[in-house]
A and B are shown apart, each in its own frame.
Chain A
Amino acid sequence: MASYIVKRIIRMIPQVFLISILAFIIIQLPPGDYLTEHLNRLRQSGRQQDEVEIRRWVQMYGLDRPMYEQYLKWITNIVFRLDFGYTFQWNKSVREVIASRMGYTLAIALFSAVFTWVVALPIGIFVAVKQYSIADYFFTLLGFIGLAVPGFLLAMVVMYVSYTQFGVKVGGLFSVEYQLQPWSWAKFVDLLGHIWIPIVILGINGTAGLIRTMRATMLDELRKQYVLVARAKGLSELKVLLRYPVRIAINPFISTIGWLLPWFFSGGTVVEIVLNLPTAGPALWRALMGQDMYLAGSYILISGTLVAIGSLISDILLAVVDPRVRFGSLEGQ
């Protein structure tokens, strides 16, 4: 087990390295990016204190050095000083912008995952056991629609309906009066009143996907010999289900930790923008509108790394529940 985990962690290192290269490329990509523009403007003005300013920037990002040195400088700043660079759009360090927002993004992603599991698990089992029943067709159709409707369109429809039907403006994570207040119980309750909307909207997509996976695996497992053997033992139908096919069909749930995260980061970005949440997605958008790439690169790097960690966790959990993974023998099935 320990050696499995070590092996798995070692495999993560090149992955995160490649992500960081990709993030760096993104930062370097736009020809007319914010920093270049800014420096050009400063140079044109030709004032003395601007020269100092220019030198400070050039020094800071190693702009006079070759590319790989710039990369090294950038990555060492991040690794050792958690310095992700500067965002001109916000006039703050990237760390400041992201730190205050990534927490909400993660919270929404995690709770969406929980929502997804709690809803998809029983429905997935039920639908597989009652294959070809009305409930099966209903959820299959719902699943198709859930998969086809992206979160942000759903968010728009929800906002429209709640505004025109109930006069409620959905959006944000806090009511206006709490926005700038320090944390308090009342503020927390206010947060709960708002945060469930993005959680549900994001969760619906994942739920649709997971019900389909769950149904397929369950149907596969239900056909297996050991289910019949378990019935022949005299176990009640519920116990047969829970102790046998569900034990294996639960595996995709655990793997989902690996792919739900990128999914929520991905779909979540646009949903967050539509709902105007104080999360990382809208910050990314605003930065990108001004081709302010440091924030974008950092976002890719951070979310990519989080995803890598997520899939590490789900692989470890998978090894815990599935001995075949642990013993490195999957040929049995």
Chain B
Amino acid sequence: MSRVGSVISGARERLGWRKESAEAKEERFYRAGQWQLVWWRFRRHKLAQAAAVVLAIFYIIAAFAEFLSPHDPLYRYKQFAACPPTGIYMRDLSGRFRAPFVYQVVRTRDPETMRPIYKANAEVTAPIKLFVHGSRYRLWGLFDCDLHLFGTEDPETAPLFLLGTDSVGRDVLSRIFFGGRISLTVGLIGVAVSFVLGLILGGISGYFGGAIDEVIQRIIDVLISLPTIPLWMSLAAALPQNWPQLRIYFATTIILSILGWTGLARVVRGKLLSMREEDFVLAARLDGESEWRIITAYMLPGFASYIIVSLTGSLPGMILGETALSFLGIGLRPPTISWGVMLQDAQDIMAVAQLPWVLSPVAFVITAVLMFNFLGDGLRDAADPYAM
């Protein structure tokens, strides 16, 4: 990277581009490496920065789901099935202000429909506490622990379900936290796979040219023209039903990246082809550098930022793809928790009408996708070498 920077600024000097009287700021601008320029431009994008912060929070939540979620995502509170979100109170019956607390929840049944009805018992209150001891877990499979960031002392009688429970009594919020772990990483791994595939195939295409290039380009043509979700569905449905969860997970990410690499391969090929004509590449060639070194040391760094940006662009599609597939029951299935799997509960609109809070993963999916779009837009503008 710094090499390209110095080659370019060298060229500038030779061509006399750098004005003698250029101010220090301009000087700094020419000297700055590619990444620094990208960073400077990115800092002007307030929306993209906000999106980056939101996404960082999302990933932190996914990473520390065990600690941050108040309940075990698989534990079924049989007495609290289909329980609406718990109300949080600051003022008790006598009108005194207190630290946030919840009331004890009692279940009755509607005499006609036999549906459970949950009522607060104003007699018994339970404060919401930080760092409470609750269900046991192994954080990252390493540390045994039972500490949760927040919750109530006795969830069996006075529970805290911020987003309610699903039809079998599992805490929706905790499931969303854990689901993020799958839903948000499927895209990352998918992008990593796309990255490798796109770099290799695009590189081959751009480097060798000729017949190989032609074949790869035609394959890309075909893959791009195919309807994505039916193809994903077909491939995911072909996965053996008896595979373990983890293997299904990885297989799904690979399926999702099967189309993702095409765009990147096009970019890499196009850039390789156009950069061959650039002066600094010619200069390097005249200096007797090997072709491989020219590609890896001179050309690749020149558009690495561009690659990463074009990859952020394909993340939202993969997140949505996982959601759609899991929602349809193809690919990831329970007991794996992902946002799409959670939405399976929402397939029947009559059921949703009874417990609308099971739709809350929708908000998380959309937020994540929206934020990735904002971030991608900001990065694209920042990395565009023709901006300014």
Contacts and interface: CB of A to CB of B under 8 A. Distances in A.
Interface of A: 14-15, 18-19, 22, 26, 29-33, 144-145, 147-150, 152-153, 156-157, 159-160, 163-164, 169, 171, 258, 262-263, 265-267, 269-270, 273-274, 281, 284-285, 288-289, 291, 293, 296-297, 299-300, 303-304, 307-308, 311
A300 B230 contact: yes
A30 B237 contact: yes
21 contacts: A15-B222, A22-B226, A26-B235, A30-B237, A144-B373, A148-B369, A150-B323, A156-B362, A163-B350, A163-B353, A262-B228, A267-B229, A270-B229, A270-B328, A284-B233, A289-B330, A291-B238, A303-B226, A303-B230, A304-B226, A304-B227
Contacts of A31: 240
Nearest to A261: B227
Contact of A269 (B229, B239, B356, B369): B229
A265 B240 CA distance: 26
Interface core residue of B241, B327, B343, B374 (most chain A CB under 10 Å): B327
Contacts of B373: 144, 147-148
B155 to A, nearest CB: 29
Majority DSSP secondary structure for residues of B touching A: helix
Contact of B352 (A144, A145, A160, A281): A160
Given A169-B349, A284-B233, A307 B225 contact: yes
Given A30-B238, A293-B234, A266 B353 contact: no
Contact of B365 (A153, A265, A288): A153
Nearest to B237: A288
B240 to A, nearest CB: 6
B149 interface: no
Contacts, number: 137
B316 interface: yes
Contact of B370 (A15, A144, A303): A144
A213 B284 CA distance: 39
B349 A163 contact: yes
B237 A269 contact: no
Contacts of A30: 237-240
Interface residues of B, number: 43
A252 B76 CA distance: 52
B234 A26 contact: yes
Nearest to B242: A32
Interface string B233-258: 11101111100000000000000000
Majority DSSP secondary structure for residues of A touching B: helix
Contacts of B240: 30-32
A311 B222 CA distance: 11
Nearest to B354: A164
B218 interface: yes
A293 B240 CA distance: 13
A100 to B, nearest CB: 18
Given A285-B328, A289-B329, A291-B238, A153 B362 contact: yes
A128 B238 CA distance: 46
A304 B222 contact: yes
B92 to A, nearest CB: 33
Given A18-B218, A152-B324, A153-B365, A262 B225 contact: yes
A311 B225 contact: yes
B172 interface: no
A230 B190 CA distance: 49
Contacts of A288: 233-234, 237, 330
Contacts of B237: 30, 288-289, 291, 293, 296
B366 interface: yes
B222 A22 contact: yes
B225 A265 contact: no
B231 A300 contact: yes
B27 interface: no
A76 to B, nearest CB: 21
A323 B228 CA distance: 32
B219 interface: yes
B318 interface: no
B327 to A, nearest CB: 7
B105 interface: no
Contacts of B346: 156
Contacts of B311: none
Contacts of B291: none
B229 A266 contact: yes
B353 to A, nearest CB: 5
B356 A285 contact: no
B13 to A, nearest CB: 32
A281 B234 CA distance: 12
B325 to A, nearest CB: 9
A257 to B, nearest CB: 12
A40 to B, nearest CB: 15
Nearest to A23: B234
Contacts of A266: 227-230
A259 to B, nearest CB: 8
Contacts of B241: 32
Interface core residue of A22, A150, A288 (most chain B CB under 10 Å): A150
B225 A304 contact: yes
A144 B374 contact: yes
